[in-house]
């Protein structure tokens, strides 16, 4: 069941076409019964789809409960994780889903400042968003939103700096305020102190895209789309050693096996399935023993990993886990913002050791040093980047230790 990726809704910036295909109905419902918005999201079971999986209704309620009048909404479309490519699709092909969801959020939380936060590297997406936002300015629904909030709605596009770290919540706040996207210590959280120290709601664009449909069709409809206890659909970014990589919209809770072997066309060149780097790749690896896991937040967490952004990077036999881990840690090291030496220097040090191991220059003591760093580094920075690097390192070390040991010097 295609909801977000319904071809009929991929109208780009064309607002007239969007309205003709059912767009605007969700917003109209929200404007008619503003008090029902947050309860509806709760009933629908919508969770944050940018990585954390936090219940969306709780975030909205927290912002709504903060004193006004100035409140902000940042629609986070920075998307710079390796292996994740869903947000850029939405922003380029169907930005109105996101904008309508954001406007519903504005009504629910009383936020007049709505920012579409986009990555300048996605030129098509930036163009589409700018045109889409321009189209809304004159629309009666926008005026209705202003009236509902009691302040003039200010809807605009803000380009991020293009850095990976700009996707981090507090980094996005720094960026929207005009500076480098430096993450900040939490607490305080953005819902209480964000842009200009005012209450700020930050949601991933995929999350907001679902909101319009939930308001239009109701919570029960949304719940029914998911499998088991999970709700709604999910955009899974599938990549790696599979025949059909790409964006797959499937019911939330689709088993990993089905994603890889049915929708993904199975393993490339007949290779055996080895592992999956999930969600970012800053989480615990899933292995062959996890092929039956339902890809929803709770089920993946029960397996000791995280769904994250729903990115699934598949690795087959013949691909080195050590090398992939080295690649991802190097990514984190390069993208560390620099504020916290344990993150920047720590990830670089891990990267160095992994590179040594990968190039046959490993030394006695390297594995102990890596494990030590994987224990020492989590929580040692202002944001979660260093935790992600430490998690993927620890997981690959534990689950594929033999590969690491094979890289050590031998007589």
- Compare residues 234 and 382 and give the one whose CB is closer to other proteins: 382
Beta strands across the sheet bearing 246-251: 246-251, 233-240, 311-316, 273-278, 286-287
- Closest to other proteins by CB, 194 vs 381, is 381
Binding-site size, other proteins (CB under 8 A): 39
> Which residue among 344, 388, 391, 395 contacts other proteins (CB under 8 A)?
344
Calpha distance 175→196 (Å, rounded): 12
Residues shown for the chain: 411
Helix axes 95-109, 56-65, angle to 10 degrees: 40
Examine residue 382 and tell whether it contacts other proteins (CB under 8 A).
Answer: yes
State which of residues 146, 287, 319, 339 lies at the interface with other proteins (CB under 8 A): 339
409 binds other proteins (CB under 8 A): yes
Smaller CB separation from other proteins, 323 or 348: 348
CB of 327 to other proteins, least distance (A): 19
- Quote the least distance from Cβ 190 to other proteins, whole Å: 19
| Residues within window 129-188 making contact with other proteins, judged by CB under 8 A | 180, 182
Other Cβ atoms less than 10 A from the Cβ of 372: the count is 11
Q: Smallest distance from the beta carbon of 322 to other proteins, in angstroms?
A: 15
Shortest gap between Cβ of 382 and other proteins (angstroms)?
8
Q: Does 377 bind other proteins (CB under 8 A)?
A: yes
Pick between residue 113 and residue 325 the one whose CB is nearest to other proteins: 325
Q: Rule CB under 8 A: is residue 120 a binding residue for other proteins?
A: no
State how beta strands 273-278 and 233-240 pair: unpaired
Q: Please give the order of strands across the beta sheet that includes 200-204.
A: 154-159, 113-118, 72-77, 200-204
Exposed e or buried b per residue across 92-110, where buried means at least 16 C-beta atoms within 10 angstroms of its C-beta: bbbbbbbbbbbbbbbbbbb
Figure out which of the listed residues 7, 67, 178, 410 binds other proteins, where binding follows CB under 8 A.
410
Q: SS3 for 267?
A: strand
CB of 337 vs other proteins, minimal distance in Å: 6
- Answer for which of 74, 149, 337, 392 binds other proteins (CB under 8 A) is 337
- 69 touches other proteins by CB under 8 A: no
Q: How far is the CB of 342 from other proteins (least distance, A)?
A: 4
Where are any strands of DSSP class E within 151-307? Answer: 154-159, 200-204, 233-240, 246-251, 273-278, 286-287
Binding to other proteins in span 346-375, by CB under 8 A: 346, 348-349, 352, 356, 360-361, 363-365, 367-373, 375
Contact 212, 23 (CB under 8 A): yes
Q: Measured between alpha carbons, how far apart are the two ends of the chain, in Å?
A: 58
Gap between the Cα atoms of 299 and 388, Å rounded:
20
In the chain, what is the greatest distance between 2 CA atoms, to the nearest angstrom?
77
Residue from the set 33, 120, 338, 398 that interacts with other proteins by CB under 8 A = 338
Q: Candidates 66-74, 88-96, 286-294, 344-352 — which segment interacts with other proteins by CB under 8 A?
A: 344-352
The sign of the CA dihedral 107, 2, 300, 286 is negative
C-beta of 322 vs 373, nearer to other proteins: 373
Span interacting with other proteins, options 27-35, 44-52, 378-386, 395-403, rule CB under 8 A: 378-386
- The DSSP 8-state label assigned to residue 246 in this structure reads E
* Binding residue (CB under 8 A) for other proteins from 340, 383, 385, 389: 340
Binder to other proteins among 123, 376, 398, 401 (CB under 8 A)?
Answer: 376
**Residue 361 neighbours by CB distance under 10 Å:** 12
Nearer to other proteins, 317 or 405 (CB): 405
Q: 299 or 391: whose CB is closer to other proteins?
A: 391
94 touches 15 (CB < 8 A): no
Pick the piece of the chain touching other proteins (CB under 8 A) from 5-13, 234-242, 307-315, 337-345.
337-345
Query: Which of 276, 321, 268 is closest to 303 using CA atoms?
Result: 276
Residue pair 79/86 in contact (Cβ under 8 Å)? The answer is yes
* Contacts for 390 with CB less than 8 Å, ≥ 6 apart: 373, 374, 375, 377, 378
- 82 lies in the site for other proteins, by CB under 8 A: no
Taking the C-alpha atoms of residue 135 and residue 255, their distance in angstroms, rounded to an integer, is 40
User: Which residues of the chain form contacts with other proteins (CB under 8 A)?
Assistant: 180, 182, 336-342, 344-346, 348-349, 352, 356, 360-361, 363-365, 367-373, 375-377, 379-382, 408-411
């Amino acid at each position: 069941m295609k909801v977000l990726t319904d071809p009929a809704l991929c109208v780009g910036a064309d607002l007239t076409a969007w309205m003709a295909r059912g767009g605007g109905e969700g917003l109209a419902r929200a404007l008619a019964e503003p008090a029902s918005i947050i309860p509806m999201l709760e009933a629908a079971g919508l969770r944050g789809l940018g990585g954390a999986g936090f219940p969306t209704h709780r975030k909205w309620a927290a912002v709504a409960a903060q004193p006004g009048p100035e409140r902000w909404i940042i629609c986070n479309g920075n998307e710079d994780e390796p292996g994740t490519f869903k947000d850029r699709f939405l922003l380029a092909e169907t930005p109105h889903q996101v904008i309508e969801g954001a406007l519903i959020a504005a009504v629910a939380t009383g936020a007049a400042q709505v920012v579409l936060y986009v990555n300048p590297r996605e030129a098509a997406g930036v163009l589409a968003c700018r045109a889409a936002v321009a189209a809304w300015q004159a629309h009666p629904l926008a005026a209705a939103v202003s009236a509902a909030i009691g302040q003039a709605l200010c809807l605009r596009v803000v380009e991020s700096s293009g850095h990976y770290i700009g996707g981090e919540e507090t980094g996005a706040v720094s960026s929207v305020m005009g500076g480098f996207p430096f993450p900040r210590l939490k607490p305080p959280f953005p819902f209480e102190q964000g842009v200009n120290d005012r209450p700020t709601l930050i949601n991933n664009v995929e999350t907001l895209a679902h909101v319009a449909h939930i308001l239009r069709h109701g919570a029960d409809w949304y719940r029914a789309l998911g499998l088991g206890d999970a709700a709604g659909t999910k955009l899974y970014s599938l990549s790696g050693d599979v025949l059909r990589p790409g964006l797959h919209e499937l019911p939330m809770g689709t088993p990993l096996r089905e994603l890889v072997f049915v929708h993904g066309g199975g393993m490339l060149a007949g290779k055996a399935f080895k592992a999956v780097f999930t969600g970012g790749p800053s989480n615990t690896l899933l292995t062959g023993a996890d092929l039956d896991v339902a890809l929803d937040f709770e089920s993946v967490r029960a397996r000791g990993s995280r769904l994250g952004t729903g990115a699934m990077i598949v690795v087959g036999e013949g691909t080195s886990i050590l090398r992939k881990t080295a690649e991802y840690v190097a990514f984190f090291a390069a993208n560390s913002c620099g504020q916290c030496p344990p993150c920047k220097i720590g990830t670089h040090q891990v990267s160095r050791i992994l590179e040594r191991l990968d190039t046959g220059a490993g030394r006695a003591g390297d594995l102990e040093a890596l494990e030590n760093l994987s224990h020492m580094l989590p929580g040692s920075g202002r944001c979660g980047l260093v935790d992600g690097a430490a998690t993927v390192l620890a997981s690959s070390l534990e689950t594929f230790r033999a590969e690491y040991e094979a890289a050590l010097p031998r007589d």
